[in-house]
């Protein structure tokens, strides 16, 4: 079967190449905004892909600064914009909006893999071609089907240059031909996601991690946040952001990016281990966006415990539960396993032994004690919830869960 994956690598530009990439990144963002204005201002009957394509061609002729963006990259911006509307119409995302200069990430598409001309120079370095920039170096951390290793079934189909806090990266789109995975023979497991215990498994084990930043890094981040607020207060309304404040923003972004890289690394290693060990993983079908909504309320009806809820929201966002499930889904599928999402109602209050449900079953955040007569089951609350999730996943696979509901 065909497998489509992305591979990310660090890119190293020369100063001139970095400036050219910056210009292309700004032009790509401006192209998106122009297409968005064109789409929203025109009547519905005049909107079409052909008309948008003609508008892009004319815009690149009339505006020289748009011409720094390669034609294929401009076409890819149009395709991405139209796809975002399709996702909106299908209910998978919100409507596309204007991309702000400081709120959006720079990205440049290279839609054709043959334009990349990837060459491996040695064990650590590779070289590729970027239109209107030239040959650039990138870190070779994984074998790519490029050069003599490429064929019709195994090849790099395209790439995207992305600027992050620690510099530019390239994300290769890799297509490979792999054999169909056989049936996984491992056990089943239920996974409860939390804050104190990031992942609690139904077999009684936990997957835990420490702080993403060391104590020194956390203290430096705290000082930078205070410096940021102090410099923002001294800045007059409408005044241009100073170089010092911009540098402080960059330093904060670099620390947060470091924490995210460590979190993603832990998630990759943890989900790989789970996918190798278990054949079926049950998880709760959580509406995370609803869980992290602010409790501030309105002027007429102000919220309660706003600061506590804000801290909980930050903790939930820091664990990135959705990203963990996304990684687990494709890794389980690669190994012949499945991920089953079950309704979250009652998983933390139901006894995994007798099935009795009452809010009093959970004595505390970490302790579960069944109040049913003749049961008295005791154990870790997260492990009990994971057992309930595993049981519900088995019912969902067998079709009994839908009948019971």
Catalytic residue among 109, 319, 382, 390: 382
Q: How far is CA 147 from each of CA 109, 119, 128, rounded to the nearest angstrom?
A: 21, 6, 11
Catalytic residue among 109, 284, 319, 329: 284
User: Among 156, 148, 142, 119, which Cα is nearest to 10's?
Assistant: 142
Q: Determine the length of the chain.
A: 405
Residue 177 annotated among the catalytic residues of the structure: no
DSSP 51-102: HHHHHHHHHHHH-GGGTTS-HHHHHHHHHHHHHHHHHHHTTSSPPP----TT
User: Among 22, 322, 328, 355, which Cα is nearest to 168's?
Assistant: 22
The token pair that represents 149 in the structure block:
């290793």
Counting Cβ atoms within 10 Å, is residue 266 exposed (0-12), middle (13-18) or buried (19+)? Answer: middle
Under DSSP, is residue 50 helix (H, G, I), strand (E, B) or coil?
A: helix
Which residues on adjacent β-strands are paired with residue 125? 139
Q: How far is CA 76 from each of CA 54, 56, 79, rounded to the nearest angstrom?
A: 14, 11, 5
Residue 382 annotated among the catalytic residues of the structure: yes
H or E element: which one contains 278? Answer: strand 278-284
Catalytic residue among 192, 319, 329, 390: 192
Strands (E), 97-245: 107-110, 119-120, 125-130, 134-139, 155-164, 167-177, 187-193, 199-201, 206-207
Residue 284 annotated among the catalytic residues of the structure: yes
Give the catalytic positions in this structure: 192, 284, 382
């Amino acid at each position: 079967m065909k497998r489509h994956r992305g591979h990310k690598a660090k890119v190293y530009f020369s100063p001139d190449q970095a400036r050219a990439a910056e210009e292309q990144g700004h032009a790509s963002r401006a192209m998106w905004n122009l297409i968005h204005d064109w789409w929203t201002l025109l009547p519905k009957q005049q909107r079409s892909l052909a008309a948008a394509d003609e508008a892009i061609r004319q815009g690149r002729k009339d505006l020289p600064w748009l011409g720094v963006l390669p034609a294929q990259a401009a076409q890819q911006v149009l395709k991405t914009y139209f796809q975002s509307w399709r996702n909106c119409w299908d209910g998978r995302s919100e409507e596309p909006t204007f991309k702000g200069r400081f709120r959006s990430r720079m990205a440049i598409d290279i839609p054709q893999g043959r334009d990349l001309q990837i060459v491996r120079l040695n064990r650590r370095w590779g070289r590729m071609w970027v239109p209107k920039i030239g040959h650039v170096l990138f870190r070779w951390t994984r074998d790519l089907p490029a050069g003599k290793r490429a064929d019709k079934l195994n090849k790099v189909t395209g790439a995207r240059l992305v600027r992050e806090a620690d510099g530019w990266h390239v994300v290769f789109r890799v297509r490979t031909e792999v054999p169909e995975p056989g049936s996984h023979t491992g056990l089943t497991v239920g996974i409860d996601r939390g804050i104190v215990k990031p992942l609690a498994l139904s077999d009684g084990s936990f997957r835990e991690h420490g702080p993403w930043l060391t104590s020194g890094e956390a203290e430096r981040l705290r000082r930078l946040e205070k410096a940021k607020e102090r410099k923002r207060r001294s800045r007059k309304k409408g005044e241009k952001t100073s170089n010092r404040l911009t540098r402080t923003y960059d330093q904060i972004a670099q620390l947060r990016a470091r924490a995210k890289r460590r979190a993603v690394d832990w998630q990759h290693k943890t989900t790989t281990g789970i996918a190798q060990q278990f054949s079926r993983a049950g998880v709760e079908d959580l509406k995370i966006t609803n869980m992290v909504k602010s409790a501030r309320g309105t002027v007429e009806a102000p919220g309660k415990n706003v600061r506590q809820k804000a801290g909980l929201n930050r903790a939930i966002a820091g664990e990135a539960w959705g990203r963990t499930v996304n990684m687990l889904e494709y890794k389980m599928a690669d190994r012949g396993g499945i991920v089953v999402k079950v309704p979250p109602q009652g998983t933390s209050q139901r006894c995994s032994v007798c099935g009795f449900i009452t809010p009093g079953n959970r004595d505390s955040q970490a302790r579960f004690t069944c109040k049913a007569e003749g049961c008295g089951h005791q154990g870790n609350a997260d492990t009990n919830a994971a057992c309930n999730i595993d049981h519900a996943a088995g019912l969902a696979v067998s079709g009994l869960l839908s009948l019971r509901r």
